[in-house]
Amino acid sequence: MPTPAYPHPFIAREGWPFLALAIVVAALLWWWWWPLGVLGALVAAFVLQFFRDPPREVPSDGNAVLAPADGRIVAVETARDPWLKRDALKISVFMNVFNVHSNRSPVDAEVMHVWYEPGAFVNAALDKASTANERNALHLRTSEGVDVTVVQVAGLVARRILCYVKAGDRVARGTRYGFIRFGSRVDVYLPTDAKPRAAVGDVVQATSTILADFG
């Protein structure tokens, strides 16, 4: 089924000011000297593709953990969840500048806590980005009492993490809850008995790709 109550058109609202500015600059450059206008048009096209935000189909399997972001899997491992202080199955998705950058909830859940941690801006593909970079974490709890931690991590170029939910909110699988500009990473921490269905190197799509099943 489609993402419920999809709140935005095909271009994410975060991109409207950037796209408008790019189009105006491209038009002025074209009027001044058309070869520069061509370059401006290419920049506008890049901005357009970066801020695209298409609706996605939600898998019917209610036991599935869905990808929170588009990108490439860079980690599937047992790790320490630094937010809930527990051992966990960690699955990390790295987004490059050509991926869709809206972030969506992997499960139906209540938001228990939201944490923001300032930090550095090293390459988000590196493991140390999970603990060194600027990040925003959500503690989600399903109706079955399963705890899931989802962490937006800034990258080498990204300088703005946007999160639109707060403690007490309820999110449905596939619901858009945030955005990271220009390259980043999302870490998901699951109970250790969760069964991964993605492997390092896999290319995933937010909402439509299943990352894991609860044990």
**Bridge partner residues of 210 (DSSP):** 66
**Bridge partner residues of 140 (DSSP):** 111, 148
How many Cα atoms sit within 13 Å of 209 on the Cβ side? 19
In 3D space, the residue among 207, 209, 186, 214 whose CA is nearest the CA of residue 92 turns out to be 186
Active site residue 184: yes
Choosing from 92, 143, 184, 208, the catalytic residue is: 184
SS3 118: coil
189 CB-near residues (< 8 Å, 6+ apart)? 79, 81, 83, 84, 86, 88, 89, 90, 148, 149, 150, 151
Kindly list the catalytic residues. 184
